[in-house]
Structures are given as C-alpha cells and as structure tokens.
Amino acid sequence: MNLEAFNLDPQTLLAIAGMALVTYATRLGGWFAIRRMVLTGRTRAALDAVPGAVLAAVITPAVLTTGPAETIAAAITVVAALKLPQLVAVALGVASVVALRAILY
Amino acid sequence: MRPDDMSSDRFTEARASAVAVLPAMIAVIPFSLLLGALAAQKGITPLEMMLMSATVFAGSAQFVAVDIWREPAPWLLLTVTALLINMRHLLMGASLASKIGHFGTGTSLLALFTMVDETWALAEQRAARARLTPTYVLTMGGILWINWVGWTGLGAALGSLMGDPAVYGADFAFPAIFLTLLVGLWQGPRTGIAIAASAVVAAIVHLTVDGPWFIAAGGIAGALAGALSAPSGDEAAETGIGE
C-alpha cells in the first residue's frame, strides 16, 4: 500500500455523501411514516405480508429466472431448512448449486 | 437502562444475535473483497471505499454504484441510483416500526442505520418469536457493519487478486440464506399467498424492466395479496393515530 491509498477526491466524496444521505433517508422513511400509527385490519395484514414479500422479491432473479440449477438448489435449500439448522441448509444449498451447475450447464 | 435489559440478559441477547448473524457474516466476505477489488479498478482508493461502506452500508447499491462509477464521479447519477435501489428500505422500515416501537428515538435511529436485508430479515424472524431488544438488533448490525467496512477496504487495497465468487457457488449463499429466513417467517397459507404473488410479479418485472424495480413491485404485490387474503370481518381497515 502507498500513500495514494489515502487519497480522497472531492467529487468522489460528494458522490459518497449523496448516496449515504438518500440511503439513510430510505431507512428512516418507512419507520417515520408508520411509527405513530396503530394499524388494524387490512392495512395491518398488508404490512404483515411485507417481510416475506420483500425477501421473495429480492431472491426471485436468483431463484426463478436464472436457470434450472438455481431453482432446484433453492428447492433443496427450503426442504433442508424445514428439518436442519440454518447454516447446514445454506451449506447444502450452495453445495447443490455447484453440483447442479456442473451437471446441467 | 431498561429494567428488563439487565446485563446477563443482554449477554444472552448479544450471543444469540451474533450466532444468528454468523452465516451472513461469512457469506458476505467474498463479496466484500470482490466489491473492493472492482472499486480499485475504477480508481476508488481503499480509504474512499471504507468511507463509502461505512456511510452507505448497502451491498447491492454499492455494487451498482461501482459498476457505473467513472472519474470524475457522476455524483447525481450515483445518488439517484442508490435511492432507487434502496427504495425497498421504505417497506422494510415500515414493517419493522411496530417491532422496535419500544426503542428510544436515538436507539431507533442507530438501529435503522444498520438495517440491511440480512439484519432486517433476522430481526423480523426474531420478532415473530420474542420481543426485540436493542442489544439484539445493534449487535448484529454492528458485527455486519465492521465486517463490511473492513473486508471491502481490504478488497480495495488488495486490488484484483480475488477470483469470481460464483466459482465456489458463493453467489448462491445469499439466496440460500434468505430462503431459510423465509421458511422461518412462515405463518400459514397467507404467508404463501403473499410470497407467491411477490415472486410472480418480481419475476415478470425483472424480465421486462431494467433496473431494480422488481423488488418494489414484488414487495407491493405481496403486501396487497396479504391485505386481500386477510380474513373478512377486518373490512373496516382503520388506521388510528396512537400514543
């Protein structure tokens, strides 16, 4: 490592500050909007569904639209997670995707 | 200190939190190194990399940022892109709000600063079983933050010595972690309806629209499905102002 490792470019700093600011704003926004509300009925049900829905959406490209190896490995991971500790299920999922890619592609 | 947050309880909470976050902590290392290496190729210095990781602290947004990075940094484009990719935080924060409602404002602001997909999902999973404590939320947030800043900085310092994590199947580690967390969130058929609605809409949007819109689209579709599949009798969906 040399001294250049510690360079800070002003425009880079501006970009980092902008990214950091809007990112923190997204983290605070939902909490700030909801925190003083007591939710009931369908609004409550909608928010209750958010954790599963967002997680499912995040992994959809990797699990559903990449290829058969990833989709099968995802199914193996889910079945494993029903019976086994999380770390074991994750390891099985990763191992099966490596194996399936070698076989299928 | 809260009376129910005594030091032995806090130790138990901190340990449970550290154990829960361990798989994500390990899985993130190859990606941190890769991100740092890619950033170094774009002229980002290790110090700048660590500063970005410490203040933005958002994996997918930082990967996209480094991808579109050039010198001098297109700061407006980078800022707008980070905003779009992190829109999902709005849904996540809204969902978490009621579960951290008993935290003080300062603690909440800190907890939300460390809210990333993994810590949020673990907090939701924990909240389904027990009352969330600041210790639980901040321990895993702190661990992942130090982990992220350190390894991305090291990656930038080492440059392009790293290979492609996909070779070891490491790219599938996060989908696998999230799948196991989904299993943990399961509360019956209505969870399945919301997940299915989200996955179908996210897949369609991902295949037809460029950019990270599929996450918001899937999340909203899943939330709507959750509302529509709620037992009737809750028709009078009211939102009252509390406190």
Q: Are residues B104 and B23 in the same domain?
A: yes
What pLDDT sits at residue A64?
93
Q: Which residues of B touch A13 (CB under 8 A)?
A: 48, 51
A50 and B92: CB-CB below 8 Å? yes
Work out the percent of chain B whose per-residue pLDDT is above 90: 56
Residue B1 confidence (pLDDT) above 70: no
Classify residue B237: in a domain, yes or no.
no
Q: Same structural domain for residues B114 and B206? A: no
pLDDT for B169:
81
- How remote is the C-alpha of A61 from its chain's centroid? 11
Q: Do residues B33 and B132 both lie within one domain?
A: yes
Query: Over the stretch B136-188, which tens digit does the pLDDT of each residue have?
Result: 999 999 999 999 999 999 999 997 565 666 777 877 887 898 898 899 888 88
Query: Does some domain include residue B47?
Result: yes
Q: What's the gap in Å between the CA of B107 and the closest CA on chain A?
A: 12
- Give the angle subtended at the CA of B180 by the CAs of A46 and B120, to the nearest 5°: 50
Helix%, strand%, coil% for chain A, nearest 5? 85, 5, 15
| Nearest chain A alpha carbon to B217 | A57
Residues B89 and B208 in one domain: no
Whole-angstrom CA distances from B112 to B13, B100, B203 are 18, 10, 28
pLDDT at A47: 84
pLDDT tens per residue, range B210-239: 877 788 899 999 999 999 998 865 444 343
What pLDDT digit, counting tens, does each position of A36-82 carry? 777 788 988 888 888 889 889 989 999 999 999 999 999 999 999 99
The residue from B146, B171, B196 where one domain ends is B171
Out of B141, B171, B201, a domain closes at B171
Residues of A in contact with B82 (CB under 8 A): 18-19, 22-23
The interface predicted TM-score (ipTM) is 0.84
**Distance between A71 CA and the closest CA of chain B, angstroms:** 11
**Mean pLDDT, rounded, for B16-42:** 90
DSSP B142-181: HHHHHHHHHHHHHHHHH-TT---GGGGTGGGHHHHHHHHH
Q: What is the pLDDT of residues B110-139, one digit of tens each?
A: 999 999 999 999 999 999 999 999 999 999
The model's confidence at residue B240, banded by pLDDT at 50, 70 and 90, is very low
Q: How many domains does chain B have?
A: 2
Where b means 16+ CB within 10 Å and e means fewer, B78-87 reads: bbebbbbbbb
Q: Are residues B218 and B157 part of one domain? A: no
Q: Which residue of B has its CA nearest to A89?
A: B180
Whether B242 is in a domain gets the answer no
Interface test with A, best of B95, B114, B124, B234 (most A CBs within 10 A): B95
B36: tokens are: 């740092």
Range with the poorest average pLDDT among A56-60, B52-56, B64-68, B104-108: B64-68
| Residue B62 belongs to some domain of the structure | yes
How far is the alpha carbon of A83 from chain B, nearest alpha carbon, in Å? 10
Residues B93 and B132 in one domain: yes
The reply to whether B205 and B151 lie within a common domain is: no
Segment B23-30 mean pLDDT: 90
Say how many CB pairs under 8 Å bridge A and B. 341
Residue B234: the pLDDT is: 46
Q: How many CB atoms lie within 10 A of CB B174?
A: 22
State the maximum Cα–Cα separation within chain A, in Å, rounded to a whole number: 60
> What is the residue range of B33's domain?
7-171
In terms of CA atoms, which chain B residue is nearest residue A63? B175
**B22 and B131 co-located in one domain:** yes
